[in-house]
Every structure is written in C-alpha cells, then in structure tokens.
Amino acid sequence: MGKLLICDPVDESAIEEMRNAGVDVDVRDDISAEELAEVIGEYEGIVVRSRTKVPSALIDRATSLKVIIRGGVGLDSIDVAHAQEKGIAVRNTPEANSNAVVELVLGLMIALARNVTSADKAMKEGRWTKKQLQGTEIEGKTLGIIGFGRIGQMLGDKAKALGMEVRACDPYIADSDLLCLEDLLAVADYISLHVPGGAETKNLLDAENLQKTKRGVFIVQASRGGTVDEQALYEALESGQVAGAALDVYTEEPPKSELLHKLVGLPQVIATPHIGAATEEALARVGGEVAALAISYLA
C-alpha cells in the first residue's frame, strides 16, 4: 500500500476512491514549501496543482517517491527531467480543466467587449454611466489563438459557434490553415494565449510583437504567467495600442510588484486570481483522473 500526499485541493470523492482502493492518503492541501521539504521523504506519491512547485532540490529529498501527479495541464512547475533522472514518474490530467478554461476565456472576452466590469463598478458606486459604456460585439470579429493544442482548439470551436472568425498559430502543428505569429498579430481583434511556460515562450508577446497587433486589440491571458511581457503590456494599454486586457495568470502569484499592481489597477484591465480551472465540474474531473493515476501507481 503506497503512501500519497495531497498538497493542493482535490475533490473529496476522489480521495475516498483512492482510500477505498488501498492508497494511504494524507491530505495537507495548504502545506508550505518548507513543510513539504521536511516530509516528502515519507511518501511514494504526491499530488500537486498550480500552487505547489516541485523543483530539483525538493525532488532530491524525495527518497521514496514513485510518482508526481499534477492535477492540471502544464508541467512547468515541476522539474520533470530531474524527476525522470531519479526514476520518478510525472503524470498530469490534460483533459480535465480544458472546458473550464475555455468558458472563462469566452466570458472575459465578452466582459471586455461590453465593459461589464466598469458598468458594475459604476452601478455599485451609484453612478448611471450608460452613455459612456457603449461596447462592441464579438460576432464577426477575428480571434487569434496562440497555441492550438487541446484548449486552443476547443476555444476555436466555441468561438466559431458565437460567430467569430478564428485564426491560430502553433509552430508544433503542421497545418496549412495555421498562420505564423506575425500574420496572426496583424489580423486579430482578440488574442488568447494557450501555450506552456518556459524559456521558449517567455515574453512571447513582448513590446515588439505588441506593436505588430492591430491598434485597439483585446488580449486575454489565461495560460501561463510570463508569456506576456507585463511591462510592455502596461505600456501598450497606456498608449491605446491594446484597448483592453483580461488577465488570469501572472509572473508572480499573488501579484506583489509595483508593476503588477499598476497593471491590474488599470480601468481597461480585468484581473482574476488564476481561476481558469476553478469550477466544481473541473475539480471533479481532475479528481477522477488523479484517483485513477494514484491507484495505478500506489494501490
């Protein structure tokens, strides 16, 4: 019977399923990095989500670890290569969060188009600002999707159903319908990023690329913090090159720097605290996939 540590929230039914299958489960879903380093040697498996990082130094202390399970898509918070060198399997749940992220992106796009957050703020302050809040419609607009994997393709399908023209770029997919990044930036009215973190995508939308966009573009960032240059985005918003942005991920979470406080404080920015996968349904799907993986390795 393997011993498993749950480091981030997992659906209760999934925890019960693992225990019923014989996995010895400890739930410490608010464990700090320091506490995790002290106890990780006791476990054959750990479950993490976006909050908990698994760097090489932590892996070196994991003397009994067989598997790291990431409840979610990206693995950039885990030193995968180092884990594999140590003979530790790394697994994730790539399908479970997709719909939740896509629905948030669509909601943020519509909120940007119709000035929803500004209207709500004005009403709560007792101001009737109807004449100042004329918006636009997303139907007929071009959505540029950077990164056309599972989430990008699902977003494209749903955006088309709402009447949007969809163009995408992805250097890892051979498809004649895909554009290069420069051509996509030139035609998109809305841009949504769906790329992994890491050196290849760091500051993918930098000052130079933001200047290649259509003036008045809207940008939605719900993939990985650091893929949009936040200083460059702030300056593009201030100049009007970018009309508005919706941000769910950041280079530091929670945001602490003066730059990030200025960025999220702009009236044309909608900021949410990394809630892309935070739905009841997604949590249940993640739990089911986590349970299946944990049982296969540890039961």
Residues 9 and 37 in one domain: yes
Q: How far apart are CA 255 and CA 252, in angstroms?
A: 5
Q: What is the CATH number of the domain that holds 18?
A: 3.40.50.720
Residues 72 and 10 in one domain: yes
| Contact indicator for 68, 78 with CB cutoff of 8 Å | yes
Residues 184 and 52 in one domain: no
pLDDT at 267: 95
Residues 117 and 245 in one domain: yes
Given the residues 70, 91, 194, 224, the one annotated as active site? 224
| Contact indicator for 228, 204 with CB cutoff of 8 Å | yes
pLDDT at 244: 98
Q: Which residues of the chain have pLDDT under 50?
A: none
Residues 175 and 247 in one domain: yes
Residues 106 and 11 in one domain: no
Residues 75 and 114 in one domain: no
Residues 150 and 265 in one domain: yes
Given the residues 19, 114, 150, 274, the one annotated as active site? 274
Instruction: Give the domain extent around 19.
Output: 3-96+280-298
Question: How far is Cα of residue 127 from the mean position of the Cα atoms in its chain?
Answer: 34
- Our count of domains for the chain comes to 2
| Contact indicator for 96, 282 with CB cutoff of 8 Å | yes
Residues 124 and 254 in one domain: yes
Residues 166 and 231 in one domain: yes
pTM higher than 0.85, yes or no?
yes
224 is catalytic: yes
pLDDT at 250: 96
- How many C-alpha atoms does 102 have within 13 Å on its Cβ side? 20
pLDDT at 74: 75
pLDDT at 196: 87
pLDDT at 40: 96
Given the residues 16, 182, 238, 253, the one annotated as active site? 253
All residues at 6 or more sequence positions from 124 whose CB lies less than 8 Å from its CB, including other chains:
none
- Distance between terminal CA atoms of the chain? 5
Residues 75 and 198 in one domain: no
pLDDT at 199: 86
3-class DSSP state for residue 245?
A: strand
Residues 135 and 158 in one domain: yes
The pair of structure tokens assigned to 118 is 């500004």
